[in-house]
Amino acid sequence: MFTSEHRFSYCIVVDLDYTLVNVDTSAALVRRLCPWKYKFFSLVFMVLKPLALLSRKLNKDLYKLILLRYCLNRYINLDLENAAKSLYYEVRKSGLNVPLLNTIKKTGGLKILLTASIDIIAKKFKDLGFDLVISSVVKCSETRPFSLLDLYAKKHVILSHLLKYCGKLLIIEDSPEPQYYELQGVKVFRVVYNERE
């Protein structure tokens, strides 16, 4: 845990989906575990375009919330961990933005993976050279109802807190939130991984 006494001259903050990797990792995990539900809800969201607009209006990823709620709640943590590990190795083998990763590894500073993807999959990418992974958190079990602490449209709040520990933030992301540009000490690099599924 970092305290305000820890101060870094700069931190590199990297997004996961469509920046470091060529997939939406949360959706890919659901597709792996529940292929029929994934197809059904994907079709529903494609047909009902207003749901996407509502997501933006509410600052909630309704697509991810519905996919996760109706799929992951029937799995125990061990099943989720195994599926996440399998997906991680698959993505690492053929869906990783290697030029970006190599560039990040050559730089100094604190390296942070900041993603709205869920923790079950996001934390697997820490071993690629990141000092810290900050992600959405999903909780599900047979004894507890499903819950999601989603960072969708909220990453700028995390960045404002990171500025207490970092003199400057270098952000690498495919779809930066508009609020990034209002933060002092932030430089945004828009990087879109060009090998989407």
pLDDT digits (tens, 9 = 90+) for 80-117: 889 999 999 999 998 999 999 999 999 989 999 999 99
Inform me whether the pLDDT recorded for 144 exceeds 90.
no
Q: In degrees, to the nearest 5, what angle opens at C-alpha 173 toward C-alphas 167 and 175?
A: 125
What value, to the nearest 5°, has the Cα angle with vertex 116 and ends 157 and 119?
115
The CA angle 61-175-95, to the nearest 5 degrees, is 90
- As a whole number, mean pLDDT of residues 53-82 equals 79
- The β-bridge partners of 113 are 14, 133
DSSP 3-state percent helix, strand, coil across the chain (nearest 5)? 45, 20, 30
Output the pTM of the full model: 0.88
Ordered by where they begin, the domains of the chain are 8-190 (3.40.50)
